[in-house]
A = this chain, B = another copy of it.
């Protein structure tokens, strides 16, 4: 009887041990912090063809004279922007970079909701892409106050923040020393979502530059 009892207790102990280990494993998996995307890009970006970012073609299939196949800060930035699936909120002081404009237009064409906030002084400078976006049907508002709307950030699907010193211009991308942070960190993303909402709402919708 005593031997039987010992076997029973030991068996129960072994079962409890296995259950405990399994439970601990599940707990640890739950407690492991989720991987949060954090990336920093520095500019000027290496000069290279970015055609493959917009198409499914191999980088080598483009016949333009630029170097091919290199992953650059610009191609990384374009990838992040083009990863948008539902909404892109863009708040940018100056916007003249044709590749970034092409990315925004591509998102709009595939049904992504795009909203653009820009600075009134830079809305119509030569090379500004704001008119191009307007003509495609993208709603662009500008801050009409006398000061500069100097932000340069984008919110991808309300979860990914792209921000930094980089204006979305040719010079900034190709020549200047600049930085762009890409982060999913909620404590950083949330305030920018609120700021975009505040700025978007504080501009009279009558000022919305609708397509002609």
- A contact set with B: CB distance below 8 Å: 1-2, 5-6, 9, 13, 20, 24, 27-28, 31-33, 38-40, 42, 44, 93, 143, 147-153, 163-166, 171-172, 175-179, 181, 183, 185, 187-188, 191-192, 195, 199
Contacts and interface: CB of A to CB of B under 8 A. Distances in A.
23 contacts: A2-B2, A5-B5, A24-B24, A28-B31, A31-B32, A33-B33, A38-B187, A40-B191, A40-B192, A42-B195, A143-B177, A147-B171, A148-B171, A148-B176, A149-B177, A150-B176, A150-B177, A150-B178, A151-B165, A151-B178, A163-B179, A179-B192, A181-B188
A199 B43 CA distance: 12
Contacts of A6: 5, 9
A125 B152 CA distance: 24
A93 B185 CA distance: 27
A179 B153 contact: yes
Contacts of A181: 163, 181, 188
Name the residue in A147, A163, A165 with the highest tally of chain B Cβ atoms < 10 Å from its Cβ. A165
Contacts of A151: 165, 177-179
Q: Which of A33, A177, A185, A187 has the most CB of B within 10 A?
A: A177
Contacts of A177: 143, 147-151, 199
A119 to B, nearest CB: 9
The listed residue with most B CB atoms (<10 A of its CB), out of A27, A42, A163, A179, is A179
A14 B210 CA distance: 73
A176 to B, nearest CB: 4
A165 B179 contact: no
Nearest to A195: B42
A47 to B, nearest CB: 13
Shortest Cβ-Cβ A-B pairs, 10 listed: A38-B187, A40-B191, A147-B175, A150-B176, A33-B33, A148-B176, A149-B177, A2-B2, A31-B31, A9-B9
B147 A176 contact: yes
